[in-house]
Structure 1
């Protein structure tokens, strides 16, 4: 399958990863349906969890890193009184008890203490690397290594209800946050253990699980193509900077247009990343606004320059 001029098509798919599938399983399924090898995802979802998995197809794989930073939302259940090797219900049970459950108000207060910027120690069962080796591979061999705590950001942590040992929750967080670890740290405030027993990624940025494409069963390629999200739309969270037609050739030759010739859709600041849009509305690349030395006190149009990050 190729686009005009023999080029691979470029678009994003919002697919729903089934529980028990790995993220790689979902990507492989999309590859088989579309008969395209150039497919990748924008953020691993644990096998036991289901929900939104954004897949980049064709030329859109070059832009996947700019979708990884989107805020993510999860809904799930944690089981108090059980600690597992993986932090979820599928892992080896390391400790089991019948806990005295905290009251509702105490649960809500404990969740509030884990909002904002917090420190979190990544789990051993994760895709992070230690000396070039994935942590989960070390964990499978029974090896535990020290992991430095990292800063993560939890925008919202809500307790939706509790029944017996189970506590339902909803989390909105930034990239790099481990919900399994969040559940363990939450229970630790009461001197208890917990693991995540159910987890669904309900949203990535503006992409909702209600709109995601199911991959189970017979899925014709036409069904996926009908739900394809064009690259400019997939990156709509980034500002739009339109490049005039007379600068297109120079841009493709690697020359950045001056900031003053760009048509911008919102004020920009030093460090902002934006979409470079052609005169006909197509996405032609990505750029970054940079402060021009010695011009910090000038109007934005004179104070900023453009660094080209990617040309498609």
Structure 2
């Protein structure tokens, strides 16, 4: 798609910018990119790593020549915080689908909850969720999964640098995970539940860091949008 002339105030974004955005809940990563594209008028805009709609947190958005750095940012380690809910599972491993397979968790001890993280640290093979955008035969596997078609995926090598249970409020446990690119935190929830024998699903998620970029450096999407609008207003007022 050919780049149209952009507003004078948006020239820096046409040249190239890296934006640290705190993605709000319910927005897709593509929604955020589309909003930036529309406000700047810059066609070349992309993000460095998808966050699911039910996740919030760090989204690196690149414009112009900095889109060439997207793969570099995607390869950096990630830090996530959030909650797992124990005693049930969901088909999507998160709250995109309804909890089922309820089990009693009254016998679980604090020691068990901490010990169950141990098999999931270091280099491991992780099975991705069948409700994911991984492509098989050219199509995202979630399309087949939604139709009830059986999907066969292969486990993938990832590295979990640390996996901590930071707070316990049963049936909810709070966690912090530092991991390599390619890690599905939804799968971590499901596997952790299996290890405990009671099931679990991801009930909240925030990406708190990508490489050296932490969430406290990011602006809310609303702040970014206001800033871009103000740049245009200031430029027009000064011209």
Task: Please indicate the TM-score interval, normalised by the length of the shorter structure.
Answer: 0.7 to 0.9
1:181 to 177, 182, 187: 187
Which residue does 1:221 correspond to in 2? 228
Which residue does 1:135 correspond to in 2? 141
Shift, 1:165, TM fit: 0.4
- Matched position secondary structure for 2:101: strand
CA distance in 2, matches of 1:224, 1:129: 40
2:154 to 148, 154, 157: 148
2:79 to 62, 73, 83: 73
Which residue does 1:108 correspond to in 2? 114
CA distance in 2, matches of 1:135, 1:202: 28
Aligned pair 1:118/2:135, yes or no? Answer: no
**Which protein has greater RCO, CA pairs closer than 8 Å, 6+ apart?**
2
Which residue does 1:212 correspond to in 2? 218
Within-5 A mapping of 1:4-23:
8-23=14-29
TM-score by length of 2: 0.87
- Matched position secondary structure for 2:125: strand
Which residue does 1:52 correspond to in 2? 58
2:167 to 144, 161, 164: 161
Distance change >3 Å, CA 27–CA 106, structure 1 → 2: same
**Structure number having the greater helix percentage:** 2
- Structure 1, residues 213-259: CA drift from partner, whole Å, max 9, x if none? 1113752316799xxxxxxxxxxxxxxxxxxxxxxxxxxxxxxxxxx
- Structure 1, residues 13-46: CA drift from partner, whole Å, max 9, x if none? 1101101111111111111222212110011111
2:103 to 77, 97, 104: 97
TM-score by length of 1: 0.67
Number of residues of Structure 1 aligned to a counterpart in Structure 2: 223
Q: Is the 8 A contact 2:113 2:196 kept in 1?
A: no
Q: Is the 8 A contact 1:101 1:165 kept in 2?
A: no
- Provide the aligned C-alpha RMSD in A: 2.0
CA distance in 1, matches of 2:172, 2:50: 25
Which residue does 1:309 correspond to in 2? none
2:38 to 7, 32, 51: 32
- Matched position secondary structure for 1:186: helix
CA distance in 1, matches of 2:54, 2:231: 24
Q: Unaligned stretches of 5+ in structure 2? A: 1-5, 233-239
Which residue does 1:197 correspond to in 2? 203
Which residue does 1:263 correspond to in 2? none
